[in-house]
């Protein structure tokens, strides 16, 4: 197997999206899963229960420490030693800054705890299924996620990632689903076609819809399969044991997930009765909302990008789907420490979901060389990437074995890149002709000069 490293460069297109590296080859990858696995040292697949427990305990300790510090915020702002220096406004500013700091970091810690539960669902936490399921069930229930139900649906996503027909989440909408005329019929690809009729939203409305996605998309997916397969029955969800998402053998585990959420609800109600709903919202509610935000943002950017293809049955394979994602430098050191590299090394996770997250960096170095130009990594600031991709990625074509997202003008990133290539070649050709003409004009002028 030939190993290659892609040359990194930035390609600017006439869209709002900037390509950080060349597009991958516009054909499915040629290598097999075994060829990729053979390039990664075997010890990187080994799971260490004690090491994983250390990460879980660290996160729980951080959450407890932040909670203890947050309980001192009002004490700090009312401390007599500070009163000579604080007026009513500055005291409010200090209190607000303290709470915002708490929410930011506790939201990241809670998200890291959720990631640990996610790793348990894949069996990456420990070689023992009992250990994985026990810890994952408790952690996810505390964060309002039906552990087994989500685990089963998430496994189907990993088994069919990038498949237009079988993937479980972030399945692109098609022309037909949006009522857009097919390409090639004189309307859908006509320069005079009124794309604003379909996508002419104001930036303010687009921002509103994006915020709505960040706050409610995960709950909507669990409750009624938003962004999942459109051919599933109406009201397909993760709480009905008889849902099409689950096999009959999984129904008891789905019921157990529901009971875990019921226990969490009773604990929340008890906390509200004892401490007050306002206090529970401040200490627990806001960080939990941020878990939803971070989780949706991470997964959306993993699976929704102009340069990432989706495949239909004839072209899809497990390895082509696994390659159709991207590693992102998500929040720098905070993403690495608090979020356990869940975004930094996501490509290798799709190839080998049972590989422990703490081996992601080392394994990705081998994986990137083995994948060659098919490996994708983005250093773009993640909030900029979220805005760019949300505006660009609107729909895909109804036909085609390998399809890319189209933007609000019906163009793919491939259209723009190839268009820039044609323009550059035309400009180069024009410059060449100009140089030839200039050289010819110089010869004419010399020939017409005074004779000697």
The string of pLDDT tens digits covering residues 341-369 is: 999 999 999 999 999 999 999 999 999 99
Q: Are 113 and 60 in contact (CB under 8 A)?
A: yes
How confident is the model at residue 88, as a pLDDT? 80
How confident is the model at residue 300, as a pLDDT? 97
Residue 419 reports pLDDT greater than 70: yes
138 is written with which tokens? 């408790």
How confident is the model at residue 192, as a pLDDT? 62
The string of pLDDT tens digits covering residues 112-136 is: 999 999 999 999 999 999 999 999 9
387 is written with which tokens? 């805005």
The pLDDT-based confidence of 8 (bands split at 50, 70, 90) is very low
Residue 451 reports pLDDT greater than 60: no
The string of pLDDT tens digits covering residues 48-77 is: 999 999 999 999 999 999 999 999 998 888
The string of pLDDT tens digits covering residues 296-306 is: 999 999 999 99
Q: Are 17 and 388 in contact (CB under 8 A)?
A: yes
Computed over every residue of the chain, the mean pLDDT equals 88
Tell me which residue of 119, 121, 167 sits closest to 308, measured CA to CA. Answer: 167
Residue 421 reports pLDDT greater than 70: no
108 is written with which tokens? 């990241």
| Distance between CA atoms of residues 328 and 309, nearest Å | 17
Tell me which residue of 318, 360, 321 sits closest to 339, measured CA to CA. Answer: 360
Residue with tokens 């993640």: 382
Q: What is the mean pLDDT of residues 91-116?
A: 96
Question: CA neighbours within 13 Å on the CB side: how many for 245?
Answer: 32
Q: What Rg value do the Cα atoms of the chain yield, rounded?
A: 27
């Amino acid at each position: 197997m030939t190993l290659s490293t892609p040359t990194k460069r930035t390609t600017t297109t006439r869209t709002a999206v900037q390509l950080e590296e060349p597009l991958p080859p516009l054909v499915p990858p040629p290598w097999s899963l075994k060829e990729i696995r053979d390039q990664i040292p075997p010890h990187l697949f080994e799971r260490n229960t004690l090491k994983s427990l250390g990460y879980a305990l660290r996160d729980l300790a951080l959450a407890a420490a932040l909670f203890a510090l947050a309980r001192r915020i009002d004490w700090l702002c009312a401390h007599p030693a500070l009163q000579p220096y604080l007026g009513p406004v500055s005291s409010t500013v200090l209190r607000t800054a303290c709470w915002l700091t708490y929410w930011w970091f506790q939201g990241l810690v809670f998200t890291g705890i959720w990631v640990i539960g996610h790793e348990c669902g894949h069996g990456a936490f420990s070689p023992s299924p009992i250990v994985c399921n026990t810890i994952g069930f408790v952690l996810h229930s505390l964060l309002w996620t039906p552990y087994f139900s989500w685990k089963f649906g998430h496994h189907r996503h990993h088994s069919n990632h990038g498949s237009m027909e079988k993937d479980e989440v972030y399945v692109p909408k098609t022309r037909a689903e949006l009522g857009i005329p097919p390409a090639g019929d004189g309307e859908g690809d006509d320069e005079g076609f009124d794309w604003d009729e379909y996508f002419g939203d104001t930036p303010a409305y687009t921002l509103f819809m994006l915020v709505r996605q960040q706050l409610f998309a995960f709950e909507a997916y669990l409750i009624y399969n938003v962004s999942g397969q459109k051919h599933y029955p109406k009201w397909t969800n993760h709480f009905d044991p008889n849902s099409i998402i689950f096999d009959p053998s999984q129904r008891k585990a789905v019921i157990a997930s529901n009971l875990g959420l019921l226990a969490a609800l009773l604990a929340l109600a008890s906390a509200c009765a004892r401490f007050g709903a306002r206090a529970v919202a401040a200490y627990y509610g806001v960080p939990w909302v941020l878990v939803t935000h971070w989780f949706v943002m991470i997964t959306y950017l993993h699976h929704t990008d102009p340069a990432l293809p989706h495949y239909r049955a004839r072209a899809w394979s497990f390895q082509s789907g696994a390659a159709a994602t991207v590693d992102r430098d998500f929040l720098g050191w905070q993403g690495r420490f608090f979020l356990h590299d869940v975004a930094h090394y996501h490509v290798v996770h799709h190839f080998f979901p049972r590989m422990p997250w703490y081996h992601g960096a080392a394994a990705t170095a081998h994986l990137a060389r083995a994948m060659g130009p098919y490996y994708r990594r983005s250093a773009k600031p993640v909030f900029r990437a979220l805005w760019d991709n949300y505006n660009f990625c609107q729909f895909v074509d109804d036909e085609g074995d390998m399809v890319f997202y189209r933007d609000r003008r019906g163009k793919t990133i491939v259209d723009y890149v190839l268009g820039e290539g044609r323009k550059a070649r035309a400009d180069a050709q024009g410059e060449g002709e100009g140089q030839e003409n200039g050289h010819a004009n110089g010869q004419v002028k010399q020939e017409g000069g005074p004779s000697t």
